[in-house]
Amino acid sequence: MPPKSAAARGMSDEEHARNNPELFIKKRFADAPEKTPYTTLLCGLSEVTKAALQAAAAPVPGLDVKFFPANDALAIGWGKKDIWNRTSAGGGTPAKSRARPANASVSPVKQSPAVSAVAKGGAKPKAGAAASGTATGKTRGRPRKTEKTPAKTAGSKRKAAAAAAAPASSKRRKKTPAGSIVGSYEVKCPGIEQEWPSECEDGLSLDISTTDQDGVYVGEFDFGVLEGVMFISSDKGAISWYSRQIDKENNYSRNKYGMGDDDSEDEDESEGEGEDEAPAGTAKSGKKGAKATTAAKAEAPSPLKYHLCWRGRETGEGQIQSDSWGEIKFTNSMFEKFTSQVNLNFAGGCKLIGTKTSTGDPSVSPTRWAEYSEEQYEHERVSRWGGSRW
């Protein structure tokens, strides 16, 4: 008799995902997409499992993963617009169009109480994550402004969905103190907007959230021709340390679930040796690879100038621009405006001017940092066009 499936054994989606993230994605989405045509919510997963699910979903065309830190949940679905509509626009309740098509056969899978709770009142997903993994191979340079380039379809759809859902969803954003850099910013950059106007029709944006590391913030940006993630802190060493922890967790999940190359095994074996020390004033928590600041230590006054380190992907060609450092300066203690500068491989230095449009926490996941690494770029390229495995 053949072994029973996870659904037949009464396993919840979370149990199935924890047991084998790669197989979960393969069976539920990759093998036959029509089996799961709707967004799936998962709660209570470890950071390692989340990273493994994200890595397994990356090669599947059209499949997206969205994180909800406020609920310790993530959503997996066919396109960020669908995820947005089914988890936020309707107040966390599936839209009326959720009725299944007559030809869609979906295996009955036990749903955990945690998932049901998110479905009833899930946190608002961030409106700023454009679909990654569009690369077809590394090429250099961008088209001149005299050449016509197609508008960003994914970005346009995402922002249209965000605009439609804003009145209802904005009320569900986690409130933050007025004197905090956390929030959403409208960004102006003449150097980009004048050179590539067709790719900036939806506007430029930066969303900043807190992380589990005190004093370190994570930002997700969409600058028209470039999208990506940055870490922000007044302590440059804290950024370096925290970004390494995210990369380590991502590499660990790849190796554990058979998605890493042979060379990475040595790195995995020696990971525990000479482990990076946390920045001054921090202490290790019980979770492997995670550290948190001492709760008793008083938080220092917020400065107006911060260090930042960012990674990004060209939206047209998919080329990765790896870790780049810079500064972001705010004009007052309410953090209503900022100025900064990014150096682009294809455009040189570009000045950024940001104006805060919302003080709510947009809930950006720090694990998205790993999506813009050279390793992730190569993994996506090999998955699409063949070649040696990781």
HEC profile for 318-329? CCEEEEEEEEEE
Beta strands in the chain (DSSP E): 40-43, 63-68, 73-78, 183-188, 204-210, 217-222, 226-233, 282-284, 291-293, 305-314, 320-330, 337-344, 348-358
Nearest to 159 by CA among 222, 193, 205, 202: 202
Contacts of 138 (CB under 8 A, 6+ apart): 317, 319, 377, 381
End-to-end CA distance of the chain: 35
Nearest to 127 by CA among 181, 163, 172: 163
Pairing state of beta strands 282-284 and 291-293? antiparallel
d(CA 59, CA 254): 13
* Domain 130-141+153-159+175-257+301-390 -> CATH class: mainly beta
What integer pLDDT is reported at residue 9 of this predicted model? 54
What integer pLDDT is reported at residue 26 of this predicted model? 85
Mean pLDDT by 10 residues, the chain (390 residues): 51 84 84 71 85 84 80 79 56 38 42 47 45 40 47 46 42 58 96 91 95 94 94 95 89 59 44 51 41 42 85 86 92 94 82 95 92 78 57
Report how far apart, in Å, the C-alpha atoms of 198 and of each of 194, 208, 226 are. 9, 25, 13
Enter the pTM of the model.
0.51
201 SS3 class: coil
What integer pLDDT is reported at residue 11 of this predicted model? 75
Q: CB of 252 within 8 A of CB of 287? A: no
What integer pLDDT is reported at residue 322 of this predicted model? 85
Element (H, E) at 170: none
Backbone angles phi and psi of 22, in degrees to 5? -65, -40
Nearest to 210 by CA among 361, 325, 68: 361
What integer pLDDT is reported at residue 303 of this predicted model? 80
- Show the tokens assigned to 217: 């913030």
DSSP state of 180: S
222-240 pLDDT per residue, tens: 999 999 999 999 999 999 9
What integer pLDDT is reported at residue 80 of this predicted model? 62
Domain layout of the chain by residue ranges: 1-96+106-125, 130-141+153-159+175-257+301-390
Element (H, E) at 18: helix 13-19
Alpha carbon of residue 265 to chain centroid: 26
Q: CB of 179 within 8 A of CB of 128? A: no
